[in-house]
Chains A and B, each alone.
Chain A
Amino acid sequence: MCPKPIAVKSTTMRMILGLDRPTGGSVLVDGVPYRDLRHPLRKVGALLDAKAVHGGRSAWDHLLAIAQSNAIPAGRVMEVLEAVGLREVARKRIGGFSLGMSQRLGIAAALLGDPEVLIFDEPVNGLDPDGILWIRTFMRELAAEGRAVFVSSHLMSEMAQTADHLVVIGRGRLIADTSVAEFIGRSSQAYVRVRSPRLAEVAELVKVGHLHPDHLRVTAMTPLEIGALTARAGLPLEELTLVQPSLEAAYMELTKDSLEYSS
């Protein structure tokens, strides 16, 4: 989920979880409103704000209270603490936790009910590189276990490394709901870079390319087509590369019309 600035992603997530009431329409989880789920944490686990905890409680007590409310056995608390690497500090007060530790505790809470759906709002914000790498790996593992992991972020490079599927929202409207590769492919900025000792001849053969001093840029053909063409003509190539824009560049291009406040 990568919306343009004006915050709709947190609100959308909060509406899914029944925390905020939508002005119109409804949000269903597995066909029912969230508040009608008997033990919602067994279906959906969410981390919205890692610091939204009572600092005076220990990690263990915090998770135990959440587990009990959904009839989750107490043994599960140690399991999730183990999974996120907080076993050693289970009895410590949450107030003394760093942001990274709080983030892990929040993920532990989301995992308590072993849910099929996980929702993380800006999970890497403010984390150090180690923390970011840990969260990214952990989220991929959770997805590999067959869970749907729903992540919001405005860090495009982060999304490019984590997400399979993108939902892009601008001004409250859906701009894209597609795979990362397809989203990048939609950008007009993709091209094939061709280098050759006989570049001028290649350019003449290909016709649709833009000739640059040391290479040729082709947007209307695939590398395969160019390769076949030059091979038949017996022209040697030094490079034939499909250059794709970054997710960030594709995102900027495809959302520029829906920018509410451009700088």
Chain B
Amino acid sequence: MIDIIRSEWTKLCSVRSTMWTLGTAALLMLALGALMSIAVKNSHQGPVQPSDVAEISLMGTNFAALAVAALGALVVTGEYRTGAIRVSYMAVPRRLLLLAGKLVVFTAVALAVCMAAAFAAFLVGRTILGGASLGDPGVLRAVAGTGLYLTACGLFGLALGALVRHTPGALVAAIGLILVLPQLTRMLPGQWGRTVNDWFTSNAGLQVAFPSPASSLGPWSGFAVYLGWIAVTLAAACVLTLRRDA
């Protein structure tokens, strides 16, 4: 397994798309957080609540999530697009081990970058707005939660990539499931509709990234629900990976 991880590490580090997508994600976090902080500072009178500082400085999350999800998808679909997946399967014929190797390496890299980006974005926002620290209630959890949420989005992208095996298809699925459909479920009527909305992918996952969650799910149980979505997608991808011809 360690051989496969080393191999996947080499693969991830040797293509430009890795730097571009992770760079874009980090840049979006910092730039949007800074822009929103400046806008709020200019329009708002008096001090800003610490929880609001955290929320404003992490405004880039939704956009950064897509960049990370794109990289996750590319980790798998990039090999199918070129046909290089057959070379990979010749080297590692146990396909799930190969997928596990990709998953481990991607998770480690994405977690490091996303955590750093989330904390950096908060520090930038706090510098601009002032009056908040990581020690304030819910703030540390929200900032670290943002790093976790972004990483999970990347894993969702990877799972969708392994399921669809096609870059555009995986990207459309990721945008739909992470960004578009979670907005549409808000329009569902009644108590039943609210439950579906709360449990739907990023609606649940984002709770951990909000300083003061507003959902029937708590921050951690919400995040667990999101991981559940990812696990189901990944399980389906595993079954199909074993069945299909490469």
Contacts and interface: CB of A to CB of B under 8 A. Distances in A.
A54 B90 contact: no
Contacts of A49: 83, 86
Given A40-B91, A65-B14, A48 B7 contact: no
Interface stretch (A18-26, A186-194, A221-229, A232-240): A18-26
Contacts of B82: 52-55
A61 B6 CA distance: 12
A58 B15 CA distance: 9
A87 to B, nearest CB: 18
A20 B244 CA distance: 8
B89 A58 contact: no
Given A54-B79, A57-B15, A35 B4 contact: no
Contacts of A46: 90
With a 10 A CB-CB cut-off, give which of B7, B84, B94 has the most chain A CB atoms: B84
A69 B15 contact: no
A93 to B, nearest CB: 10
Contacts of B3: 68-71
B245 A56 contact: no
A249 interface: no
Given A21-B245, A56-B16, A68 B83 contact: no
Interface in A31-69: 34-35, 37, 40-41, 44, 46, 48-49, 51-58, 61-62, 64-69
Q: State the main secondary structure of chain B at its contact with A.
A: helix
Contacts, number: 85
B232 interface: no
B7 A65 contact: yes
Nearest to B79: A54
A52 B83 contact: yes
A101 interface: no
Given A52-B83, A68-B3, A69-B4, A37 B246 contact: no
Counting contact residues on chain A (CB < 8 A from B), the size range is: 20 to 34
Nearest to A33: B93
B89 A56 contact: no
B84 A68 contact: no
A41 B94 CA distance: 13
Nearest to B16: A56
A64 to B, nearest CB: 5
B17 A35 contact: no
Contacts of A67: 7
A69 B8 CA distance: 8
A52 B86 contact: yes
A109 B87 contact: yes
A40 B87 CA distance: 12
Contacts of B93: 17-18, 34-35, 37, 40
Contact of A53 (B87, B90, B246): B87
Contacts of B88: 69
B84 A54 contact: yes
B104 interface: no
A21 B78 CA distance: 23
Nearest to A57: B14
Contacts of B90: 17, 19, 40-41, 44, 46
Interface string A4-16: 0000000000100
B245 A20 contact: yes
Interface string A92-128: 0000000000000000010000000000000000000
18 contacts: A14-B245, A17-B90, A18-B93, A19-B90, A37-B93, A40-B90, A40-B93, A44-B90, A49-B83, A52-B84, A52-B87, A54-B84, A61-B14, A65-B14, A68-B6, A69-B88, A70-B91, A71-B3
The 6 closest A-B pairs by CB, nearest first: A52-B83, A61-B14, A35-B93, A69-B7, A68-B7, A65-B10
Interface of B: 3-4, 6-8, 10-11, 14-17, 78-79, 82-84, 86-94, 245-246
